[in-house]
């Protein structure tokens, strides 16, 4: 019996189109792309500046993730392939993968099976160097900060209250809390320090929310790196760091053009995590996609309680975007896990457990509808799904006012996404979208957090620690009271407790601290025990990865 090829085997067996041909399909000339080899390119600033948005925006989101897998990125890519097969001029715009999850537990993030973005191995590894540029710009600011203190601290930093961390794109729990400057008088100031992973860094958020190079530099200058002893903010602009940081990020600001397995255009740019950051690709890439395609598919990280909420309330607000439909991805396996079934029993048909778990999907569907966006449920098919289980989900979704269809893109590529594609086209043809954010950014910080917690998470309320109360008051004093809120919370549950699956009730969200991301233009509310620097699993994915002498890669999923 033949085995199904791995994702990397499928990707490496694909015959790719020259990137100039992919660019030409969406109206980009050879002078409007900057090739990075044969199959990758950046789009020139001139090409971006001379085009105006015309396309229609569709978000792909999902239920709370489980170890059973949901396949949100796979559905996003497969749906783009399906719409192209249906004759539509479609562009997919998604995030770049982080090396942390690639070598940690998740593996790659370019889709899967026959619904992938390629060249998959290059996208999942160093790609065009955007993450490295962000790392360098971030750590340059760290170096300039410590250098300033070493040479006399003219700005008056309170060294106990430096808020700017360092960054690395790797899961490394040992860097969550460290001490720097132990090299004596010439080793710089000795102080406590911490690292965040690159997808959770403020520079990543800034890159993804900046609209052009001038906006980028202005946002970088606004970054608050610490405070004085009399609690006045000190910014990157005060350290005169923003110009050099902008230089390091100049090329990283340009969207990356690649292709799907079936040769369709894909923009892959920016990569903030959805649990500790805002979880969306760059505004620049999404806007560019809207100038190049009639339909644009974009994705937001993790479940709709995190990625979709931040997409609607942060990205769309800053980017002036008007989404017209949203696809919520689910699998029967994951819904049964939300219904209490253990992972090793998921292949056994169990409609009762499925119905218990469907409350998670229902909550996500109804949450997205609160933003005025029509919903299509994409039920990502597994071979072990029974027909009765499939019908139960499809019928339930329709009773919630959503469209629904089976997706089989992992096994069949674009052909397997035609049913979902037709439902998306039908929703766009109806034109019933009336998008609006869930809260007014001018509201007090606490009220915005409470709105998200009660309206999206289903919490009974919010508890704020003494540290959070103090930080909120400080953020409001620094002029950040009227900004959006980015909640950092576990992706596995509507609550801040990852063990509470399904649709938990009778809980409160616990906010332990609130931090200022003045350059990004929002405040971050830390809920529960969420970490901004992940750790590796006991058996990380890196252990199974190797490269053969002929260049073949093994173990990169």
- Tell whether 384 is covered by a domain: yes
Contact 378, 46 (CB under 8 A): no
Same domain, residue pair 411 and 485: no
Same domain, residue pair 293 and 237: no
CA atoms within 13 A on the CB side of 164: 28
Contact 402, 376 (CB under 8 A): yes
Strands (E) across 140-263 are located at: 157-162, 166-168, 178-180, 191-193, 195-197, 224-228, 233-235, 256-260
Residue 44: the pLDDT is 97
Residue 107: the pLDDT is 61
Dump pLDDT digits (tens) for 335-375: 999 999 999 999 999 999 999 999 999 999 999 999 999 99
Same domain, residue pair 415 and 519: no
Return the SS3 of 466: helix
Q: Strands 33-35 and 41-43: what pairing?
A: antiparallel
Same domain, residue pair 342 and 293: yes
The number of distinct structural domains making up the chain is 3
CA-based end-to-end distance of the chain: 22
Same domain, residue pair 157 and 194: yes
Q: Which long-range contacts (CB under 8 A, 24 or more apart) does 440-446 make?
A: 441/317, 441/482, 441/483, 441/484, 442/482, 444/476, 444/481, 445/472, 445/475, 445/476, 445/480, 445/481, 445/485, 445/514, 445/523, 445/525, 446/472
Same domain, residue pair 207 and 304: no
Same domain, residue pair 64 and 84: yes
Domain boundary at 249, 284, 313, which?
249
Provide the CATH number for the domain around residue 511.
3.10.410.10
Residue 1: the pLDDT is 38
Residue 218: the pLDDT is 98
Q: How large is the C-alpha radius of gyration of the chain? A: 23
Q: Which long-range contacts (CB under 8 A, 24 or more apart) does 513-517 make?
A: 513/465, 513/467, 513/468, 513/471, 514/445, 514/468, 514/471, 514/472, 514/475, 515/163, 515/471, 516/163, 516/224, 516/233, 516/471, 516/474, 516/475, 516/478, 516/480, 517/202, 517/205, 517/486
Q: How far apart are CA 83 and CA 406, in angstroms?
A: 15
Contact 292, 55 (CB under 8 A): yes
- Tell whether 552 is covered by a domain: no
- Tell whether 338 is covered by a domain: yes
Contact 44, 67 (CB under 8 A): no
Within the chain, which residues score under 50 in pLDDT? 1-2
Same domain, residue pair 124 and 19: yes
Domain boundary at 430, 460, 475, which?
430
Dump pLDDT digits (tens) for 394-417: 999 999 999 999 999 999 999 999
Residue 394: give the domain boundaries.
7-128+252-430
Residue 109: the pLDDT is 76
Domain boundary at 430, 461, 485, which?
430
- Tell whether 533 is covered by a domain: no
Give the DSSP per-residue string, 3-26.
PPPPHHHHHHHS-PPPHHHHHHHT
Same domain, residue pair 138 and 121: no
Same domain, residue pair 383 and 497: no
**Residue 521 has what DSSP assignment?**
T
- Tell whether 414 is covered by a domain: yes
Same domain, residue pair 187 and 281: no
Provide the CATH number for the domain around residue 242.
3.30.1510.10
Same domain, residue pair 79 and 150: no
> Tokens 């006012």 appear where?
401
Residue 554: the pLDDT is 85
Torsional sign, CA 365, 367, 368, 373 = positive
Torsional sign, CA 26, 30, 33, 37 = positive
Provide the CATH number for the domain around residue 273.
3.40.50.300
- Tell whether 425 is covered by a domain: yes
Q: Which long-range contacts (CB under 8 A, 24 or more apart) does 393-398 make?
A: 393/330, 393/332, 393/335, 393/354, 393/358, 393/361, 396/355, 396/358, 396/361, 396/362, 397/361, 397/365
Contact 401, 375 (CB under 8 A): yes
- Tell whether 264 is covered by a domain: yes
Contact 32, 47 (CB under 8 A): yes
Nearest to 494 by CA among 465, 455, 463: 455
- Phi, psi (degrees; rounded to nearest 5) at 170: -155, 145
- Tell whether 489 is covered by a domain: yes
Contact 295, 58 (CB under 8 A): yes
């Amino acid at each position: 019996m033949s085995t199904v090829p791995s994702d990397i085997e499928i990707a490496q067996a694909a015959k790719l189109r020259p990137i100039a041909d992919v660019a030409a399909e969406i109206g980009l000339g050879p002078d409007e792309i900057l090739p990075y080899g044969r199959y990758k390119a950046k789009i020139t600033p001139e090409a971006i500046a001379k085009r105006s948005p015309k396309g229609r925006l569709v978000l792909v989101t999902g239920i709370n993730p489980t170890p059973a897998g949901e396949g949100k990125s796979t559905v996003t890519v497969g749906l783009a392939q399906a719409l192209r097969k249906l004759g539509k001029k479609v562009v997919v715009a998604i995030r770049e993968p982080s090396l942390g999850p690639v070598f940690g537990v998740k593996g790659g993030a370019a889709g899967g099976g026959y619904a992938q973005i390629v060249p998959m191995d290059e996208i999942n590894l160093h790609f065009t160097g955007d993450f490295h540029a962000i790392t360098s710009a971030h750590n340059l600011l760290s170096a300039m900060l410590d250098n300033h203190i070493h040479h006399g601290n003219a700005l008056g930093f309170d060294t106990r209250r430096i808020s700017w961390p360092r960054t690395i794109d790797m899961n490394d729990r040992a860097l969550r809390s460290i001490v720097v400057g132990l090299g004596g008088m010439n080793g710089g100031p000795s102080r406590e320090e911490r690292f965040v992973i690159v997808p959770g860094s403020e520079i990543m958020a800034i890159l993804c929310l900046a609209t052009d190079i001038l906006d980028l530099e202005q946002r970088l200058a606004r970054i608050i790196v610490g405070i004085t002893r009399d609690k006045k903010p000190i910014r990157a602009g005060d350290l005169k760091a923003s110009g050099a940081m902008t230089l390091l990020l100049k090329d990283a600001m340009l969207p990356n053009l690649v292709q799907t397995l079936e040769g369709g255009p894909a923009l892959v740019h920016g990569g903030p995590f959805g649990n500790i950051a805002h979880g969306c690709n760059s505004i620049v890439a999404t806007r560019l996609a809207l100038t190049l395609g009639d339909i644009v598919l974009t994705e937001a990280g993790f479940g709709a309680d995190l990625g979709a909420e931040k997409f609607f309330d942060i990205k769309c607000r800053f980017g002036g975007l008007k989404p017209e439909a949203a696809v919520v991805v689910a699998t029967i396996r994951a819904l049964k896990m939300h219904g209490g079934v253990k992972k090793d029993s998921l292949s056994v048909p169990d409609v009762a457990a499925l119905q218990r778990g469907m409350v998670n999907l229902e909550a996500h569907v109804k949450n997205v509808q609160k933003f005025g966006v029509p919903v299509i449920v994409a039920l990502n098919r597994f071979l072990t799904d029974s027909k009765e289980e499939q019908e139960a989900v499809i019928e339930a979704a329709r009773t919630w006012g959503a469209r629904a269809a089976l997706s089989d893109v992992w096994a069949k590529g674009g052909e397997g996404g035609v049913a979902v594609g037709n439902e998306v086209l039908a929703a766009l043809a109806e034109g019933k979208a009336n998008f609006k954010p869930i809260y007014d950014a001018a509201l007090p910080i606490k009220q915005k957090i409470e709105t998200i917690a009660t309206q999206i998470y289903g919490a009974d309320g919010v508890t704020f620690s003494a540290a959070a109360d103090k930080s909120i008051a400080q953020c409001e004093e620094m002029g950040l009271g009227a900004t959006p809120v980015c909640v950092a919370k576990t992706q596995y549950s509507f609550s801040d407790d990852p063990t509470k699956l399904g649709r938990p009730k009778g809980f409160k969200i616990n906010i332990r601290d609130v931090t200022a991301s003045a350059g990004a233009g929002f405040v971050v509310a830390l809920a529960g025990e969420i970490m901004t620097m992940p750790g590796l699993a006991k058996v990380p994915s890196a252990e199974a990865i190797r490269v053969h002498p002929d260049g073949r890669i093994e173990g990169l999923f």
